[in-house]
């Protein structure tokens, strides 16, 4: 996961500067369209994706390198096809190809959008939740806190684990695992209370707030997103 | 500036503070001493309305914490012991902006204030860094920036140097003393009397939730500290 999430670096490119909400919608709809496409059209999309990645300063080999971590998943898909419907192996390969492109699309999104911009993007797209009495700012803040504290919790779990090992606890024993989980849960709830105090002391509220990250999508952002999806749609139906 | 009148607070059965009355004047540097569990953190949280007294009243510039919580939290900023619990955003600049965003400060003003505070604290180069990559000392300075950028008139420190190495401890202490000389009111809880004595003008020793001593910092002698079980 950190391989994906940690890879964002700012560059002054069209994709980097595209509004996050436009990128999120584009990825969501493009992912749906990908699952309706055949080999030749997917190959065309892959070429366009490589050009887009190159223009955003992402090395093409990095896109290729994304295949490796998921090899087991692809192998599993192909094995299932081989066992249950060997006559449809071509369809299995197509599914794997779709997954590969989907992962590459996600990578391009995450490599060109900071986590905070993504969260802001989700926040501005989450306005329908207001109808259910929820606050988009609270939802995005919870997302942002989760992302912030995931590495901290891993670090904490590692520290507790090392403390256990230093007292000759064996990693695989069920008891030491349950003790590890119990300690992490206990520390997490103590930490949650401390974070709540810190948040309250900095005047957290959901209304009348401003934002350091301007997240306004302009007409050009929507035009680029709509144009990309239109090309994909055209390719799907008339290509 | 801050007045506590007959303040008591308890957690379930456990009495944390009993009948505490004192005044913290503008530009005081109050060091708060006491053993673990003596009520230091409870006392600090009462000052900016994070906790409300169960009896008595806490007033900041004549505003009661019961009625003006948010207004008071703007006037009284708080820096916690563990900076990891205080940093809520992943990027330094965004974390410092958090309080300003909540106050509805316009973008231009926000950027100006953040740039100024980063430069004042000498960490402008960390502006775009992920907070998870910072050292504890750097995190504590970022946490302090997040409070100072809201321009409080009083800053409350809850054992801010406990988790730091000697060099970072000195940096943070130098910064606290500098903030005091610039006209801020400081309330500093610590386990180490030597540390706060450098700049403190007043002292409060809490002992099982009661004020064991409240007076001039110069009157805190080793024998007085020993009387309350503190390391002299």
Q: Among all residues of chain A, which has the CA nearest to that of B106? A: A210
Q: Which CATH number fits domain B2-228: 3.40.50.920, 3.50.50.60, 3.30.420.40, 3.40.50.300?
A: 3.40.50.300
> Is B57 an 8 Å CB contact of chain A?
no
Report the C-alpha gap between B6 and B29 in whole angstroms: 22
B90 contacts A116? CB cut-off 8 A: yes
Per-residue tokens: A190: 């103590």
pLDDT single digits (tens) B15-24:
899 999 999 9
Please count the residue pairs, one from chain A and one from chain B, whose beta carbons lie less than 8 angstroms apart: 90
Q: Give the pLDDT score at A170.
A: 61
Residue A189: exposure state from Cβ atoms within 10 A (0-12, 13-18, ≥19):
exposed
Q: Give the pLDDT score at A6.
A: 42
pLDDT surpassing 80 at residue A5:
no
Q: Give the pLDDT score at B9.
A: 94
A201 part of a folded domain: no
B94 contacts A203? CB cut-off 8 A: no
A172 part of a folded domain: no
pLDDT single digits (tens) A45-92:
999 999 999 999 888 888 888 888 888 889 999 999 999 888 889 999
| Average confidence (pLDDT) over B91-119 | 93
Q: How high is the ipTM of this complex?
A: 0.88
A229 part of a folded domain: yes
- Residues 6 or more apart from A51 whose CB is under 8 A from it? none
Of B97, B130, B146, the CB nearest to A212: B97
Q: Give the pLDDT score at A172.
A: 60
A56 part of a folded domain: yes
**Paired residues of B204 in beta bridges:** B32, B214
Q: Which helix (H) or strand (E) holds B193?
A: helix B193-197
The model scores a pTM over 0.90: no
Per-residue tokens: B126: 């960390």
Report the 10 Å Cβ neighbour count for A235: 17
Strands across the sheet containing B185-189: B76-79, B154-158, B185-189, B29-33, B202-207, B210-216
> Is A209 an 8 Å CB contact of chain B?
yes
Report the C-alpha gap between A109 and A24 in whole angstroms: 8
> Is B87 an 8 Å CB contact of chain A?
yes
Of A116, A144, A200, the CB nearest to B50: A200
A166 part of a folded domain: no
pLDDT surpassing 90 at residue B2:
yes
pLDDT single digits (tens) A164-179:
778 766 656 667 777 7
Any idea of the CA torsion for A37, A38, A43, A46, to the nearest 10 degrees?
Answer: 20
| Average confidence (pLDDT) over A201-216 | 83
Report the C-alpha gap between B96 and B89 in whole angstroms: 8
pLDDT single digits (tens) B171-215:
889 999 999 999 999 999 988 888 877 889 999 999 999 999 999
A46 part of a folded domain: yes
A72 part of a folded domain: yes
With beta carbons less than 8 A apart as the criterion, state whether A3 and A201 touch: no
pLDDT single digits (tens) B137-166:
899 999 999 999 999 999 999 999 888 888
Q: Give the pLDDT score at A201.
A: 92
Q: Among all residues of chain B, which has the CA nearest to that of A201? A: B73
Report the C-alpha gap between B141 and B136 in whole angstroms: 9
Question: What is the distance in angstroms between the Cα of A64 and the nearest Cα belonging to chain B?
Answer: 27
Domain ranges of chain B: 2-228
The domain total for chain A is 1
A213 contacts B90? CB cut-off 8 A: no
**Paired residues of B7 in beta bridges:** B20
pLDDT single digits (tens) A94-131:
999 999 999 899 888 888 887 778 888 888 888 888 88
Low-confidence winner among A65-79, A131-145, B57-71 (lowest mean pLDDT): A131-145
pLDDT single digits (tens) A6-27:
467 778 899 998 999 999 999 9
């Amino acid at each position: 996961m950190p391989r994906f999430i940690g890879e964002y670096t700012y560059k002054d490119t069209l994709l980097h500067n595209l509004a996050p909400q436009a990128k999120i919608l584009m990825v969501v709809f493009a992912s749906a369209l990908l699952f309706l496409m055949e080999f030749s059209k997917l190959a065309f999309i892959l070429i366009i994706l490589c050009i887009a990645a190159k223009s955003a300063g992402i090395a093409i080999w990095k896109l290729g390198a994304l295949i490796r971590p998921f090899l087991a998943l692809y192998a599993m898909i192909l094995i299932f096809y081989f066992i249950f419907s060997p006559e449809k192996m071509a369809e299995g390969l197509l599914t794997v190809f779709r997954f590969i492109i989907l992962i590459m699309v996600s990578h391009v999104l995450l490599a060109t959008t900071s986590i905070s911009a993504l969260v802001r993007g989700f926040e501005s797209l989450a306005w329908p939740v207001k109808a259910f009495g929820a606050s988009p700012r609270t939802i995005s803040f919870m997302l942002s806190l989760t992302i912030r504290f995931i590495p901290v919790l891993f670090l904490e779990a590692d520290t507790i684990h090392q403390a256990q090992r230093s007292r000759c606890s064996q990693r695989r024993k069920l008891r030491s695992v349950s003790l590890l989980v119990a300690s992490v849960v206990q520390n997490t709830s103590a930490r949650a209370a401390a974070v709540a105090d810190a948040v309250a002391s900095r005047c957290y509220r959901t209304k009348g707030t401003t934002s350091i990250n301007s997240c306004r999508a302009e007409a050009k952002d929507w035009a680029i997103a709509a144009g990309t999806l239109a090309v994909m749609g055209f390719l799907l139906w008339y290509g | 500036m801050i007045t506590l009148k007959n303040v008591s607070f308890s957690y379930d059965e456990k009495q944390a503070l009993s009948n505490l009355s004192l005044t913290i004047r503008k530009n005081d540097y109050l060091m708060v001493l006491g053993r673990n569990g003596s009520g230091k953190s409870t006392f600090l949280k009462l000052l900016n309305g994070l906790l409300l007294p169960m009896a008595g009243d806490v007033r900041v510039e004549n505003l009661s914490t019961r009625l003006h919580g948010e207004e008071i939290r703007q006037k009284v900023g708080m820096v916690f012991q563990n900076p990891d619990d205080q940093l809520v955003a992943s990027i330094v600049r965004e974390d410092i902006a958090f309080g300003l965003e909540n106050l509805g400060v316009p973008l231009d003003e926000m950027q100006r204030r953040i740039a100024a505070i980063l430069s004042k604290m000498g960490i402008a180069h960390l502006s775009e860094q992920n907070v998870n990559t910072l050292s504890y000392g750097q995190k504590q300075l970022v946490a302090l920036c997040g409070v100072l950028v809201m321009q409080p008139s009083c800053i409350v420190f809850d054992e801010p140097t406990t988790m730091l190495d000697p060099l970072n401890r000195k940096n943070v202490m130098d910064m606290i003393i500098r903030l005091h000389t610039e006209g801020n009111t400081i309330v500093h809880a610590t386990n180490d009397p030597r540390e706060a004595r450098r700049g403190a003008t007043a002292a409060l020793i809490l002992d099982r939730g009661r004020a064991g001593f409240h007076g001039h910092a110069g009157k805190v002698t080793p024998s007085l500290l020993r009387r309350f079980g503190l390391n002299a």
